[in-house]
Amino acid sequence: MATTALPVTMSAVRRARVTQEARLDVWADQLCTAAAQFPGFVGSDVHRRHTRRTHEVRVTLVFASATEAAAWESSSIRGELTAAGDALTEELSIALAPQQPVAGRARTALVVWTGLVPFALLLNALGEHLLEHLPVVPRTMVSTMILVPLAVYIGIPAVQRSLARWHARRPLR
């Protein structure tokens, strides 16, 4: 079976020193132009964020594979541009850590449903006679005002804890 290389996205945020805002914008464009000359370059994006006190630039570069991204990262032109960018920017006091992958929608729906059903069954079994005299809309509002907090604060966290324990016991493949 042939394996396909996955694209690699790299992103960096720079905050301009005072009076260097325009030069930082030019630098970001130069960085994207230089990266575009490398094999495997897929695309780039520059997002500028201005506030009263700061001017930040987020540069995102996409390469077709990790090998091509590594070639860009180890290139002399990237090193020169990075040094030039350092002269225009102040250090950010935050580290941009990689994020955990987001659970799929089907898994999320299943977790929510599993955390909600026990409370819905209890409400219908034990409290139906208390609500049956209400019209449909008020009855639905009352039942959801009871069910949603129970599911959100008790049911869904319990399901997530159970899944975490189950995943921890599974052997690695």
**Residue 27, Ramachandran bin (φ over 0: left; ψ between -120 and 50: alpha; else beta):** alpha
In order of start, what are the domains of the chain with their CATH numbers? 8-90 (3.30.70.100), 105-169 (no CATH)
pLDDT at 114: 94
Of 89, 100, 75, the residue nearest 13 (C-alpha): 89
pLDDT at 95: 45
Consecutive sets of 10 residues in the chain, 173 residues long: mean pLDDT of each? 74 89 93 94 91 88 91 93 89 53 80 94 89 91 94 93 76 54
pLDDT at 93: 44
Identify the three-state secondary structure at position 2: coil
Four-residue CA torsion sign, 131, 136, 138, 141: positive
Residue type for position 102: V
